[in-house]
Structure 1
Amino acid sequence: MNVNLTPQLEELVRAKVDSGMYSSASEVVREALRLMDEQDRLRHAKLQELRHDIRQGPDSGASEPWDAEAVKAKARARRATKVATF
């Protein structure tokens, strides 16, 4: 298989081999493809989790009103307690 790279990518591959981290351009490309595959699998898992959470949303019950000032006050009190213990 032959692959055409942009000059910038070709230089990146060459620099990786010259650094001693990889023994050949093929090794650099294989590692890049493994990382891309890993990212794809992670992205897929996150998307599945998000879809699951979205499906659970309607089953979680009716929404409740909330008071922003009460939430802030509670957070400030919690933070003050943590700061006081240090």
Structure 2
Amino acid sequence: MGKIEKISRVEKVSVALTDELLSYVQGAVKSGDYASASEVIREALRHWKARRTQDEQASIALRHLIAEADASGPSESWEGAEVLKQRFREQNAR
């Protein structure tokens, strides 16, 4: 049985960069860290995609925690809450 290879379609796009960003891209290529500007942009997009995925996962986890807290019922009063309420009232009275 032969090996199946995934073939990715590549499309050229034009991207407008500020002078500062262009300088970073060119510097990364000149330093030898990357072979081309395209490689720099692709890696930046991979990092952006990974960060968005992490942000989405964190948001889901936070929603679960909030739902769990809501489901646990009302909280008991604690002294700190009264102190914060009093400070809020004082600040708004000014």
Q: TM-score, normalised by structure 1?
A: 0.71
Deviation at 1:34, TM superposition (A): 0.3
1:31 has 2:51 as partner: no
Name the % identity: 41
Q: Residue 28 of structure 2 is aligned with which of 1, 8, 16?
A: 16
- Between the aligned partners of 1:5 and 1:62, the Cα distance in structure 2 is 52
- Between the aligned partners of 2:74 and 2:21, the Cα distance in structure 1 is 52
Structure 2 alignment gaps of length 5 or more = 1-12, 81-94
Corresponding residue number in structure 1 for 2:15: 3
Cα RMSD after superposing both structures: 1.3
Corresponding residue number in structure 1 for 2:3: none
Match for 1:35: what amino acid? H
Superposed CA offset, 1:21-64 (max 9, x none): 11100000000000000000000000000111111112224423
The count of aligned residue pairs is: 68
Partner SS state of residue 55, structure 1: helix
Q: TM-score, normalised by structure 2?
A: 0.65
Match for 1:3: what amino acid? V
Corresponding residue number in structure 2 for 1:43: 55
The structure whose residues are more often helix, as a share, is 1
- Between the aligned partners of 2:42 and 2:36, the Cα distance in structure 1 is 10
- Between the aligned partners of 2:19 and 2:71, the Cα distance in structure 1 is 53
- Between the aligned partners of 1:19 and 1:66, the Cα distance in structure 2 is 58
